[in-house]
Amino acid sequence: MSTGRVLVVDDEDDIRELCRVNLEFEGYEVLDAADGEAALQLARRERPDIIFLDLMMPKMDGWDVLRHLKEDDTTADIPVILLTAKTGENEQMRGWSEGILEYVSKPFNPLSLVEWANRAMQPRNAEDEAERRRRILEQLRLVQELRQNS
């Protein structure tokens, strides 16, 4: 029996396979896409429970995918976890501002994928999530200020 349906979006075959193996081992059904356009089509058609999304991809980058997902009523509520090599505060702030559930830097521990997926499957309170995003954004702004002042 499936724990949930996950869409993994990354242009690197190895990353998609790594995610697939770890998530399927724990009972998740895994769909995957190698570019943003395919990801949007799959998300709209299959309505996954969670999306793991890379930012740097061909055809349509992860930011555009995220924007389209959040603008579409059929996909707006799907939790999105960014998996990306972009680790700067500006990218993190943008992700949190646009409503992601988690920001994960590559390289990541593949065993943590299941933990993130399990957390994404838990019921969430919208107000609590908004407060969490606000606190994270505040911390990132403080980090930026400290870097600029040093």
**Chain centre to alpha carbon of residue 104:** 8
User: Confidence band (pLDDT; 50, 70, 90) for 48?
Assistant: very high
CATH architecture, range 4-149: 3-Layer(aba) Sandwich (3.40)
Distance CA 19, CA 98 (A): 24
Q: Where are the domains of the chain?
A: 4-149
Distance CA 21, CA 47 (A): 21
Question: CA 6, 112, 20, 103: dihedral to nearest 10 degrees?
Answer: 50
User: Confidence band (pLDDT; 50, 70, 90) for 2?
Assistant: low
pTM: 0.90
Cβ 96 vs Cβ 103: under 8 Å: yes
Looking at the predicted structure, is the pLDDT value of residue 150 above 80?
A: no
| H helices present in the chain, as ranges | 13-25, 36-46, 62-71, 89-97, 112-121, 126-149
Between these two residues, 40 and 1, which has the higher pLDDT value?
40
Beta bridge partners of 81: 52, 102
Three-state SS at 76: coil
